[in-house]
Amino acid sequence: MTLFLVGGGPSQATGPVVDHFVAAAKQRGNRVAIAILGTQSEAGGYLNLYADPIVQRWPEVLIEPVWLVDEDEGQIVWPANPEELAGLVVAAGWAPGYLDALMPHKDTITRLIRGGTAYLGFSAGAQVVAKKAIAGGWQWHGRAIGPELAGDGSTELIVREGLGLVGPAIDVHTDSQHLLERAISALLAGHASSAVTIDEDTGLTVDVTSGSTEILGPGAVHWLTRDGDEVRVRSSMAVIPDQATTAS
């Protein structure tokens, strides 16, 4: 049960994360679902951004898009026999919209991951896996905790119920959008006792069963823990696999 969480969108620098995802998915079959927010007509142009790096490494893969639409646009259609999916990719985009679309399918997604389906989440796709998902906002009690562009349409910090695949809250774009303080604020507000933030172009591999982790890419991962009225922050860069840290 492995999650591959990326701190931004697809890029050349995230190639090592895709390598690991493909290796994990191949152990189960050759079907990979890619979930993107929007209808096919709205979001279809983004599919290849996520599919091409996988196909380049795995020509035999069968890509099955999942269009995450809201209730007014129809029902979300999952691939037939989803339990046979080798991998599930959740794209980047508007985090609140991804939560709205995915939470009704939480049980299905949890069953897939527990059954061994590899999960690759980019940006919003990484945020939603947490028990408490940081879903937007750039202020806390009127004080700026990030740039306005990172608010995802909201001003005040928003933390919502997530998929619950990992315990710590997850935030992304840490270096490029200076969002470490948003995660700190989420802990000080009492939404979670721990959080992980991931830099752009950087991936965090999480073994859900053992809690072991590995950092992939050029950036850093920051581990935050609330201790009373304080938040302790530890930063890690990429390490070789046998030195991987263990998530608390």
pLDDT band at 223 (very low <50, low <70, confident <90, very high): very high
**Domain span holding position 169:** 2-241
Say if 77 falls within a structural domain.
yes
Helices in the chain by DSSP H: which ranges? 15-25, 40-43, 47-57, 95-102, 106-114, 124-127, 180-188
Rounded to whole angstroms, the Cα distance separating 127 from 125 reads 6
Q: Is the pLDDT of residue 47 over 90?
A: yes
Say if 248 falls within a structural domain.
no
Say if 221 falls within a structural domain.
yes
Mean pLDDT score across all residues of the chain? 92
Q: Is the pLDDT of residue 244 over 50?
A: no
Say if 247 falls within a structural domain.
no
What confidence tens digit (pLDDT) does each residue in 18-30 have? 999 999 999 999 9
Say if 246 falls within a structural domain.
no
Q: What is the mean pLDDT of residues 53-64?
A: 97
Say if 191 falls within a structural domain.
yes
Lowest mean pLDDT among 64-78, 85-99, 149-163: 64-78
- Whether 229 and 186 have beta carbons less than 8 Å apart is answered as no
Strands 31-37 and 2-6, bridge-based pairing: unpaired
Taken as a whole, the chain contains a residue count of 248
> What is the pLDDT, as a whole number, of residue 210?
86
pLDDT band at 243 (very low <50, low <70, confident <90, very high): very low
Q: What CATH number does the domain containing 182 carry?
A: 3.40.50.880
DSSP state of 42: H
190, amino acid identity: G
pLDDT band at 211 (very low <50, low <70, confident <90, very high): confident
Work out how many domains the chain is built from and give that number. 1
Rounded to whole angstroms, the Cα distance separating 185 from 60 reads 45
Q: Is the pLDDT of residue 202 over 50?
A: yes
